[in-house]
Structure 1
């Protein structure tokens, strides 16, 4: 059956009308909820780095194509443009489904009504309609381009197809590089990277995490400094013990416990002293006393503890290691902590140790930087988080009466809490990113994950508040994430989106 030129024309006109309806609806839905559309693009594993530009370009392009399709003189150009745009959308969805680490939420418009697979079919159908419409217009004799031969028409289709797919692929490649290595605070939240397993009410909010191994979590207590509480991985309390020290006549101010199974350390930097014992009996002997005063401790192995000490000459913070074995000594490296203007407050931070990498990690509180060092305090490398604050924003005043320096205004935290496991650094950020809704920050704490091997950003996830209480601290052990929130300790299961990145 051969269609008349008039029938071909009407079918082609119907295809144009369908495209106009589609693009008017799609562009209007994006522009009416532009902020949401831009946020969702920011979460895309393909387009994160270009979200701001694409959020404008896509609806504007759809409107321009609608205008072209309204005028007979430009219908052919409009159909070719519609074909190219739909090929881009189709390539985007195909890459999302087959070549990205996760499938993001919808991006507005029709995508909110269809699943990704369904939308792929929907796009392919409209790609077919565009091709059909162009061929029918060519053969109807009503358009100027009917004189174009089939060979040129095929070449034109091929050029548009290759160009459209290439644009999406290039954006994907560059976006991945920018997000992972040159990110300026654009987070990705893949679906369900962690899953809540169980929780336990500890009845008190004075607990802190002193350490963990494959079978236990060890909790210290700030109001009962020598009390150690042991839980198994099911969060059942398996023991509570008062640690016995062989020296109790020291002027302790704040003993802090740090467990590196099968040993534990009790330290008070205001004395300064370090006790060491075994977790099998929770008895500790004074292993080191004297030397530099220190504020923070982190057990490294059976005979050494990393500390943030105070330089006796300048008063600046300095990273050190106290050896409590046969050769008792303290090693200091003033070059690890980088002074910006104060040397004390501006270098405050989180002292971490990865037994998997056998490396020390120091993450600053008030700026987007961290340093990696070995146990000899040799600097292995420095890195930055995706937060943009590279210089601490602090206002410090001197209290002449008490001869103290204090914050004159509350400091701006960049990194509130942190943990490290193997090659991954987990950072509880305090700075909202681009394309993030205020609601997320009102309801949850945001954890950013970094690969220390290449200092790249991987992904982010949320730990939701509990009864209005925010997360206090957390630790990662194997595929478990343990979180203290108020009086509760919560266990989360870490999914393969994260655990697959562990260095074997």
Structure 2
């Protein structure tokens, strides 16, 4: 009898514990069920893959484009230019040459093509070089510059650059005329450390010269004029208003590092026909995890006032999201490892562009 009572007690305990575990599991938030506090207006149609071009080599990035050609630089070879026609059916390669006695940090230099002018920006030396697609003979262009991490040209005589001062990011304008370098210290707003929390990318519309500074780790973007004055502050539809990052100082090397992986908000962006297209890194509450995981989510905003318009899906290529993308002639051109892909924009997006 005692043995039966003990056995019953053990069975009841096991059943009770098992039931509690099941209840806890049922109410435990899954990785794909955690709410981010926002919803998207997702149009039914997706971007459709139309053409694929094997670039044979990796490490390409967008250096510029026209309606007829796309210009790619290569992180591994600063002097190399790959020119692709806009329908991805033909390619041409060029190699630039540097004048004698010129030295630079070519592994960190970046190519910028404003056809037919070609620039190489070297933020470590620092220097900016210029050539053209017909001669490809580089010569130092700007008389003075400053150290910078990235640069874009806004005119033949002026560049906007992102630099670092006192371990904080700031934007500067570099010109060929005195005072040559003009810092704008109050454009980027510090939230945590001033370096990682303000990290982002400058995007320019080559047609209108509209400028956007897109923050990586917060739901904010800035519309700027070519003198780096803020026209307005826009917000993406997610709720991450403060950068979710953790910082540590390495005193032995006088460096500041991230002590934990950051929460990306905006992966990348591009401007086309007065619209800002942002590749978002966060899932909305109304998105199904299966669809979200198969696609890249692109959010569309008005460049006039920063208002959200809608979103659409762009299918991943072989399970990967695009490293970079641009929109040329109503087609999305995306870079993946050693592949260029061309997608058609959904009709609803095209219709909206044509109306505007």
TM-score, scaled to structure 2: 0.84
Supply the distance in 2 between the matched residues of 1:185 and 1:285 (Cα, whole angstroms): 50
Supply the distance in 1 between the matched residues of 2:278 and 2:234 (Cα, whole angstroms): 13
Aligned to 1:347, what secondary structure does the other structure show? coil
Match of 1:449 in 2: 300
Match of 1:389 in 2: 240
| Bigger Rg over Cα | 1
Q: Deviation string for 1:74-133 (max 9, x for gaps)?
A: xxxxxxxxxxxxxxxxxxxxxxxxxxxxxxxxxxxxxxxxxxxxxxxxxxxxxxxxxxxx
Are the structure 2 counterparts of residues 453 and 496 from structure 1 closer, same or farther at C-alpha, using a change threshold of 3 Å? farther
In the alignment, structure 1 residue 202 sits paired with structure 2 residue 62:
no
List gaps (5 residues or longer) in structure 1.
Answer: 1-38, 40-182
In the alignment, structure 1 residue 267 sits paired with structure 2 residue 121:
yes
In the alignment, structure 1 residue 213 sits paired with structure 2 residue 213:
no
Aligned to 2:160, what secondary structure does the other structure show? strand
Q: Judge conservation of contact 1:253–1:268 (CA < 8 Å) in 2.
A: no
- Post-superposition shift, 1:327? 5.4
Q: Judge conservation of contact 2:104–2:122 (CA < 8 Å) in 1.
A: no
Aligned to 1:345, what secondary structure does the other structure show? coil
Aligned to 2:81, what secondary structure does the other structure show? strand
Aligned to 1:481, what secondary structure does the other structure show? strand
- Post-superposition shift, 1:237? 3.7
Match of 1:318 in 2: 170
Q: Deviation string for 1:453-479 (max 9, x for gaps)?
A: 121111112222222222111011231
Instruction: Give the RMSD, CA atoms, in angstroms.
Output: 2.3
Supply the distance in 1 between the matched residues of 2:37 and 2:114 (Cα, whole angstroms): 36
- Post-superposition shift, 1:253? 4.3
Aligned length: 321
Higher strand share: 2
Pairing of 1:304-453 with structure 2 (within 5 A): 304-311=158-165, 314-324=166-176, 329-453=180-304
Match of 1:484 in 2: 335
Match of 1:464 among 311, 315, 338: 315
Match of 2:14 in 1: none
Q: Judge conservation of contact 1:368–1:388 (CA < 8 Å) in 2.
A: yes
Match of 1:188 in 2: 41
Q: Judge conservation of contact 1:253–1:270 (CA < 8 Å) in 2.
A: no
Match of 2:135 in 1: 281
Higher helix share: 1
Q: Judge conservation of contact 2:189–2:198 (CA < 8 Å) in 1.
A: yes
Supply the distance in 1 between the matched residues of 2:115 and 2:350 (Cα, whole angstroms): 22
Q: Judge conservation of contact 2:232–2:305 (CA < 8 Å) in 1.
A: no
- Post-superposition shift, 1:341? 2.2
- Post-superposition shift, 1:252? 4.0
Pairing of 1:149-160 with structure 2 (within 5 A): none
- Post-superposition shift, 1:375? 0.8
Match of 1:241 in 2: 94
Are the structure 2 counterparts of residues 327 and 484 from structure 1 closer, same or farther at C-alpha, using a change threshold of 3 Å? same
Supply the distance in 2 between the matched residues of 1:499 and 1:305 (Cα, whole angstroms): 32
Aligned to 1:468, what secondary structure does the other structure show? coil
Supply the distance in 2 between the matched residues of 1:424 and 1:284 (Cα, whole angstroms): 34
Match of 2:76 among 217, 223, 229: 223
- Post-superposition shift, 1:357? 3.3
Supply the distance in 1 between the matched residues of 2:313 and 2:134 (Cα, whole angstroms): 36
Q: Judge conservation of contact 1:473–1:484 (CA < 8 Å) in 2.
A: yes
Supply the distance in 1 between the matched residues of 2:173 and 2:327 (Cα, whole angstroms): 23
Supply the distance in 2 between the matched residues of 1:327 and 1:243 (Cα, whole angstroms): 29
Supply the distance in 2 between the matched residues of 1:281 and 1:496 (Cα, whole angstroms): 41
TM-score, scaled to structure 1: 0.60
Aligned to 1:426, what secondary structure does the other structure show? strand
Aligned to 2:187, what secondary structure does the other structure show? coil
Supply the distance in 1 between the matched residues of 2:198 and 2:272 (Cα, whole angstroms): 23
List gaps (5 residues or longer) in structure 2.
Answer: 1-32
